[in-house]
Structure formats: C-alpha cells, structure tokens
C-alpha cells in the first residue's frame, strides 16, 4: 500500500508537468500592477474562518464521538483513505513541490518551478505560524482523554504554553490541514494566471482534497473539528499571501530572482558520468 501510494504522488507530479507543457498558456508579457499584501477582502475571509471555528467548537466532542465508532474505525476503506490523504499533506506536499521545482529548473519551464517553489514556501510559512499557535494554546489532542463509560471526550482541555510539553498538547490548529490548504491555495492562485478558464475545476478539486486531509486527521483521532477549520484558515491565507507577495506586491523579490533565476543542468563528463551545474539565467516576468 505504501509503495503504491508514493507512486501515486509521483504520478500526480508528472501529470502536472505534462499538462503544463501541453495546455495553452493564457498569460501576457505585461506585468500586473502591484497591490497591497493585505486587503479588506482578506479581513472578511479571516472573519468568516473565525466564525466557522467558533461555530464548530461546541460540536467538537459530537463529531469526535461519531467518527470514532467501532464500525468507522474498523472499515478498511476508511483506514486506507485516511492514510492516503494524510500522507499527501505530509510529506507528500513537500515531495510534489520539490519535484515540480527541480523539474521546472531542469526543463527551463519557469511557471512549473514557480509553482513548486511558492507552494513549498506557503507550506513552510503556514506551518511556522501554526506551530506557534500549537505551543501557545496547548490544546490536548482527542486521544489524550478517550471516552469511557462515564465520561466523553474533553474538548476543553487547553492550557497556555503547554504545547512545550510535547506533541500530545499541540492539537490546535491541525498542521496537516495547514499544509494541505496552503498547497491548494498556492496551486489555485498560480494556475489561475495560466489557465483562468480551468479555475472552476482546479479550485474545487484542490480545496476538496485539502478538506479530506482535515477529515482524515479527525478520523485518526488526532484533531478536533475546530482544529481543522483553523488549519484551513491558516493554510489558505499562507497560500494566498505567498503568491500575492511574489507576483503582485513585490514582483522583483531578490529571493525569487535567486531561486527562480538559477537553473540545474545535467551533462556528461569524459567518463560518461552524469554531473550537474548551476548557472544564472534571466527571470521572465
């Protein structure tokens, strides 16, 4: 199962690479005007996520108890699906992002490298912010106090700073969900520039898959529903902000010029062995 799943991850990356080369690009050479990194629309989106998190909070124990039933936990299909989506988020998102970046550098496909780089950066940014919140809020994971005959789940087990004691108290927010939504948001933002007519398909597919990652974490009894909602919020913002920063707010970023202006090329030496060299090339805008 594990070997087959990693092959599936590689297949996804190859599919994106081939599709990027075959579908007609719908971009122009003119640069878009710079825009602020944060807007009122961002405030509205953040407000919606906060309301959603607070709305789910009273139902955390309800969802946990229903998803941890004997039937659900012993269902082989549910087990396999949860493992698959969890692995897609971590380490799958890093594997796919790194593959796209390296393949784009080798094949000189700027947009492919751009997608791999910014997707990975979004995951890192979102992950760092989420880790800070995990340590700060110190929320116990659902399995720390499993339900018994006399008591149910305890979703109110919070303690400021307790996340420093270990992973068992780093439930809020869900890190895997952050990674999944960060990658999804980055992909949707990047591909909307190339193929705006396909956004109607790409966005639901990417965010739907990210949502299933969150459900898988609840199924594995690692997170509450409100953990997943906040993870979706952080990941979405990370993906949106990273792409906006490098393409609209600061399109002349030195980091982008360094990482996307460097290409890897393979060549054969006198003995027929493969080697690699790095050289600087202009960054198309």
Picking from 206, 242, 213, 241, the residue whose alpha carbon sits closest to that of residue 229 is 213
Residues 220-262 have pLDDT tens digits of 999 999 999 999 999 999 999 999 999 888 888 888 888 887 4
Q: Are 220 and 58 in contact (CB under 8 A)?
A: no
How much is the pLDDT for 218?
Answer: 96
* 75/91 Cα distance (integer angstroms): 24
For domain 36-256, which architecture applies?
Up-down Bundle (1.20)
- List the domain boundaries for the chain: 36-256
Which is it for strands 262-268 and 274-280: parallel, antiparallel or unpaired? antiparallel
Q: Which two structure tokens, joined as six digits, stand for 281?
A: 């090339």
* Chain centroid to CA 269: 39
Q: Are 141 and 197 in contact (CB under 8 A)?
A: no
Picking from 192, 193, 221, the residue whose alpha carbon sits closest to that of residue 86 is 221
The residues of the chain scoring below 70 in pLDDT are 1-33, 146-152, 262-285
Is the link from the previous residue into 43 a cis peptide, with omega within 30 of 0?
A: no
Q: Are 118 and 186 in contact (CB under 8 A)?
A: yes
How much is the pLDDT for 148?
Answer: 54
Q: Are 187 and 118 in contact (CB under 8 A)?
A: no
DSSP per-residue letters across 134-152:
HHHH-PPPGGGS---SS--
First-residue to last-residue Cα distance in the chain: 42
Alpha-helical regions (H) of the chain = 2-22, 40-56, 60-67, 70-74, 76-87, 93-107, 110-137, 175-194, 199-219, 225-244, 254-260
* 4/182 Cα distance (integer angstroms): 25
């Amino acid at each position: 199962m594990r070997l087959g799943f990693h092959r599936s991850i590689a297949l996804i990356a190859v599919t994106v690479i081939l599709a990027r080369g075959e579908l007609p690009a719908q971009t122009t050479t003119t640069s878009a005007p710079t825009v602020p990194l944060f807007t009122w629309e961002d405030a509205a989106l953040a407000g919606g996520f906060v309301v959603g998190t607070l709305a789910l909070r009273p139902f955390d124990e309800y969802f946990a108890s229903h998803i941890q039933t004997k039937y659900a936990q012993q269902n082989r299909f549910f087990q396999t699906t949860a493992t698959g989506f969890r692995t897609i988020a971590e380490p799958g998102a890093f594997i796919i992002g790194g593959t796209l970046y390296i393949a784009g550098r080798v094949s000189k496909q700027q947009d492919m490298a751009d997608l791999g780089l910014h997707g990975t950066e979004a995951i890192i940014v979102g992950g760092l912010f989420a880790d800070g919140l995990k340590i700060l809020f110190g929320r116990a994971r659902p399995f720390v106090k499993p339900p018994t005959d006399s008591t149910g789940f305890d979703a109110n087990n919070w303690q400021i700073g307790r996340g420093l004691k270990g992973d068992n108290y780093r439930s809020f927010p869900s890190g895997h969900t952050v990674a999944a939504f960060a990658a999804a948001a980055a992909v949707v933002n990047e591909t909307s520039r190339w193929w705006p007519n396909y956004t109607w398909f790409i966005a639901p597919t990417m965010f739907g898959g990210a949502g299933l990652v969150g459900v898988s974490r609840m199924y594995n009894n690692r997170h509450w529903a409100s953990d997943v909602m906040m993870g979706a919020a952080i990941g979405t913002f990370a993906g949106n902000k990273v792409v906006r920063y490098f393409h609209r707010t600061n399109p002349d970023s030195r980091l982008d010029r360094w990482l996307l202006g460097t290409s890897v090329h393979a060549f054969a030496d006198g003995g027929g062995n493969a080697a690699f060299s790095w050289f600087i090339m202009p960054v198309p805008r």
